[in-house]
């Protein structure tokens, strides 16, 4: 009963635009006062401090910083040129290039919003210039950017790993097959739409051109090899891999390509720190609520009441999928993970779902959530760049969302596909 009251207060506070992190803090203070009395209030400061010193989450600012360095140099331009040289001869080439570039970018960046801002600002105007409808240009860019959080590294996976106490490296490995498969399926959908509409090819295929584009982008392509190679090779942890990413991106941008725009880099680093802080404040205040929920055994009680209805793993997965899809429509992905994952984990383990498999399911769900209004961070950025109406873009985007939903269903019900690499390397 008290838990429902606290939830109602949180919803009410969110409705009047109190930041969710602060809303959680206010709810937790109320819970501490009611259950333990005012003498326990100093715990507020202690838990808010401890909650923000979550070591694995150190990878978030570092991956954002690495992405900022890439965006401040010519890496995206070089990757686009390479993709064009590879698939420019296919009908609807620019749309396919958009997906391809996002797949490359995803191997270095872990944020879909950063990806759509970096690639969309070049590719959406280019598509509009070649006669693609602006709603389509925004839709394909937005959906392709979702690959950033499925293909490693991935910031939502890092947050999930920290919240669920699951291996971040194994989560990264689990994302490889669905990320590549999803990317190819998005490309096929873009090609199908382009053929139906008779959209143009860009350039004739030439081995010479491809070779030059490859040489031009060689170091940009080498970046994911350094980052993912060092993490998957077991030389460094995910956090240290993120640090390596910063240094590698800096060396390539500043000394190989020599075109880092320093002012922009400093600004992006500060913005990155600010985005990290927004997530970390949520983590800290959720730790505060977590203390109360754990004391009251709320996650266990919730697990028991659902298990009383069904202990069928597949049915529980369906319920959790619907829950996360709905949450994704209204909540930022980080907030959804931080708020819900600790509460549902006892249920997940009770029905025998692998925490790494579940982390991948949550990530894809929230990736779809970034495409579905009213709260759709990635879609909004794409719409703003294209100057297109959100609902018109969503209508076109539905075809790509169906593809992502198909990926989600396969990942959920055929875990052997995403988990095969995890089993091969780690178990």
Partner 1 sequence: MTVLAACRKALDRLLQFILLALMLAITLIVVYSVIMRTSGNAPSWYDEIAAIILCWVTYFGSAYAALKRGHIGFEGLINVMPPALRVAAVFFGEILVITFFVLLGWMGMRVLRVLEGDGLVSLPWVPLQLVHSIIPIGAALFILAQLLSLPDYWAQARAGMLGKKDGDEEIKEKLE
Instruction: State whether residue 146 is helix, strand or coil.
Output: coil
Residue 42 binding partner 1, by CB under 8 A: yes
CA 402/CA 422 separation, integer angstroms: 26
From candidates 6, 62, 227, 422, binder to partner 1 by CB under 8 A: 62
From candidates 6, 57, 166, 362, binder to partner 1 by CB under 8 A: 57
Residue 55 binding partner 1, by CB under 8 A: yes
Residue 39 binding partner 1, by CB under 8 A: no
Whichever of 61 and 178 has its CB closer to partner 1, that residue is 61
Interface characters, 236-255, with partner 1 (x: CB under 8 A):
x--xx-xxx-xx--------
CA 415/CA 358 separation, integer angstroms: 10
Q: Residues in contact with partner 1, total (CB under 8 A)?
A: 63
Residue 46 binding partner 1, by CB under 8 A: yes
From candidates 100, 272, 342, 418, binder to partner 1 by CB under 8 A: 272
CB 107 within 8 A of CB 224: yes
DSSP string, 78-140: HHHHHHHHHHTTSTTHHHHHHHHHHHHHHTT---HHHHHHHHHHHHHHHHHHTT--HHHHHHH
Least separation in angstroms between residue 245's CB and partner 1 is 10
Whichever of 266 and 406 has its CB closer to partner 1, that residue is 266
Report 138-197 residues binding partner 1 (CB under 8 A).
Answer: none
DSSP string, 199-211: PPP-----HHHHH
Where are the extended beta strands (E) located within 251-328? none
CA 266/CA 105 separation, integer angstroms: 21
Whichever of 92 and 120 has its CB closer to partner 1, that residue is 120
Classify residue 139 by burial, with Cβ atoms within 10 Å: 0-12, 13-18, 19+.
buried
- b/e map of 410-427 (b: 16 or more CB within 10 Å)? bbbeebeebbebbeeeee
Instruction: State whether residue 352 is helix, strand or coil.
Output: coil
From candidates 168, 223, 238, 284, binder to partner 1 by CB under 8 A: 284
Tell me how crowded residue 241 is: count the other CB atoms within 10 A of its CB. Answer: 28
Residue 206 binding partner 1, by CB under 8 A: no
Residue 126 binding partner 1, by CB under 8 A: no
Distance of CA 341 to the CA centre of its chain: 15
Whichever of 48 and 184 has its CB closer to partner 1, that residue is 48
Interface characters, 353-382, with partner 1 (x: CB under 8 A):
---------------------xx----xx-
From candidates 117, 316, 347, 366, binder to partner 1 by CB under 8 A: 117
Residue 26 binding partner 1, by CB under 8 A: yes
Tell me whether the omega of the peptide bond preceding residue 153 falls within 30 degrees of 0, making it cis: yes
Whichever of 329 and 405 has its CB closer to partner 1, that residue is 329
CA 50/CA 43 separation, integer angstroms: 10
Whichever of 306 and 340 has its CB closer to partner 1, that residue is 340
Residue 280 binding partner 1, by CB under 8 A: yes
Q: What value, to the nearest 5°, has the Cα angle with vertex 385 and ends 360 and 71?
A: 65
Least separation in angstroms between residue 75's CB and partner 1 is 16
CA 392/CA 379 separation, integer angstroms: 11
Report 329-358 residues binding partner 1 (CB under 8 A).
Answer: 330, 332, 334-335
Whichever of 25 and 224 has its CB closer to partner 1, that residue is 25
Residue 229 binding partner 1, by CB under 8 A: no
Residue 121 binding partner 1, by CB under 8 A: yes
Residue 10 binding partner 1, by CB under 8 A: no
Nearest alpha-carbon partner for 411 in 424, 421, 398? 421
- What interhelical angle do 207-216 and 75-87 show, nearest 10? 160
Residues of this chain that bind partner 1 (CB under 8 A): 13-22, 25-26, 29, 41-42, 44-46, 48-49, 52-55, 57-58, 61-62, 65, 117, 121, 236, 239-240, 242-244, 246-247, 266-267, 269-270, 272-274, 276-278, 280-282, 284, 330, 332, 334-335, 374-375, 380-381, 384-385
């Amino acid at each position: 009963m008290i838990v429902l009251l606290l939830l109602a207060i949180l919803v009410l506070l969110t409705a009047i635009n109190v930041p969710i992190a602060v809303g959680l803090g206010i709810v937790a203070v109320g819970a501490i006062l009611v259950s333990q009395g005012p003498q326990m209030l100093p715990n507020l400061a202690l838990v808010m401090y401890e909650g923000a010193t979550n070591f694995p989450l150190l990878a978030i600012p570092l991956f954002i910083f690495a992405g900022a360095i890439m965006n401040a140099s010519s890496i995206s331009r070089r990757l686009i040129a390479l993709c064009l040289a590879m698939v420019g001869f296919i009908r609807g080439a620019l749309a396919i290039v958009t997906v391809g570039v996002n797949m490359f970018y995803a191997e270095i960046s872990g944020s879909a919003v950063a990806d759509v801002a970096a690639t969309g600002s070049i590719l959406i105007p280019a598509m509009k210039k070649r006669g693609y409808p602006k709603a389509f240009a925004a839709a394909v860019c937005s959906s392709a950017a979702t690959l950033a959080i499925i293909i490693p590294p991935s910031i939502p996976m890092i947050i999930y790993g920290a919240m669920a106490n699951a291996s971040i490296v194994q989560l990264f490995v689990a994302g490889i097959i669905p990320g590549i498969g999803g990317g190819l399926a998005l490309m096929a959908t873009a090609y199908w739409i382009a053929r139906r509409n008779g959209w143009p090819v860009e350039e004739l295929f030439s081995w010479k051109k491809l070779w030059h584009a490859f040489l031009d982008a060689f170091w940009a392509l080498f970046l994911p090899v350094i980052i993912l190679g060092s993490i998957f090779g077991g030389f460094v942890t995910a956090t240290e891999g993120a640090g390596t990413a910063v240094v590698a991106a800096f060396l390539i941008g500043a000394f190989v390509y020599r075109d880092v725009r320093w002012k922009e880099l400093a600004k992006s680093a500060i913005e990155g720190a600010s985005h990290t802080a927004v997530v970390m404040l949520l983590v800290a205040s959720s730790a505060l609520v977590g203390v109360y929920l754990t004391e009251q055994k709320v996650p266990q009680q919730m697990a028991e009441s659902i298990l009383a209805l069904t202990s069928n793993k597949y049915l529980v997965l369906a319920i959790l999928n619907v829950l996360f899809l709905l949450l994704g429509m209204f909540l930022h992905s980080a907030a959804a993970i931080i708020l819900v994952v600790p509460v549902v984990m006892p249920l997940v383990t009770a029905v025998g779902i692998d925490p790494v498999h579940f982390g991948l399911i949550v990530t894809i769900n929230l990736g779809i959530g970034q495409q579905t209004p009213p709260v759709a961070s990635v879609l909004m950025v794409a719409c703003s760049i294209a100057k297109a109406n959100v609902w018109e873009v969503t209508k076109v985007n539905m075809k790509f969302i169906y593809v992502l939903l198909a990926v989600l269903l396969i990942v959920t019900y055929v875990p052997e596909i995403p988990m095969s690499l995890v089993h091969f390397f780690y178990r």
